[in-house]
């Protein structure tokens, strides 16, 4: 599908959101691009062609950054709970920090982290959002 863009509208959009799309080089840029992308996701079917083009570009830039920084291929042999343990350790986050984010139950979170309970799709989505990774890593 080819989008027909209005150059003036596209440049105005970039000016409005105060972003210059480029290869992401820092965590701050990554966070900024994620925020803009999330705001465009919220618009769903109300996006203009220019917003859709920017959305697609930002998603590609974010994916490239995640692939480079997080090197998800190295995680392909990890089970979901091992991946969660790795994310917790590498980010300095404790299991208790996930209370209220993934589940209100400390016991359930402990069971998930220790591999005694599987991660549900809903919990995977929440973990993906929290750690800024694809929820599919937790399946």
Q: How much is the pLDDT for 52?
A: 92
Confirm whether pTM is higher than 0.85: no
Listed in sequence order, the residues at least 6 apart from 135 whose beta carbon sits closer than 8 Å to its beta carbon are 121, 124, 125, 127, 128, 129
Q: How much is the pLDDT for 37?
A: 92
The residues that bridge with 99 in the sheet, in sequence order, are 103
Residue 55's closest CA among 92, 46, 102, 115? 46
* Average pLDDT for the chain: 88
Contact, 59 vs 21, CB < 8 A? no
Percent share of the chain, pLDDT over 70 = 93
Q: How much is the pLDDT for 76?
A: 66
Tens digits of residue pLDDT in 103-131: 899 999 999 999 999 999 999 999 989 88
Tens digits of residue pLDDT in 9-46: 999 999 999 999 999 998 899 999 999 999 999 888 89
If pLDDT is split at 50, 70 and 90, which confidence band does 136 have?
confident
Quote the CA–CA distance of 134 and 139 in Å, as a whole number.
10
More confident residue, 23 or 133: 23
56: left (phi over 0), alpha (psi -120 to 50) or beta: alpha
């Amino acid at each position: 599908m080819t989008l027909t863009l209005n150059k003036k509208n596209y440049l105005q959009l970039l000016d409005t959101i105060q972003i210059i799309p480029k290869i992401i080089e820092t965590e701050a840029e990554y966070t900024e691009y994620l925020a803009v992308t999330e705001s465009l996701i919220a618009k769903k079917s109300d996006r203009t062609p220019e917003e859709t083009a920017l959305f697609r570009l930002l998603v590609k830039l974010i994916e490239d950054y995640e692939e480079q920084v997080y090197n998800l291929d190295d995680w392909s042999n990890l089970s979901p709970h091992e991946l969660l343990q790795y994310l917790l350790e590498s980010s300095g986050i404790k299991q208790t920090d996930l209370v209220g984010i993934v589940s209100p139950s400390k016991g359930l979170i402990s069971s998930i982290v220790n591999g005694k309970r599987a991660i549900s799709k809903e919990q995977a989505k929440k973990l993906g959002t929290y750690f800024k990774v694809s929820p599919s890593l937790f399946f």
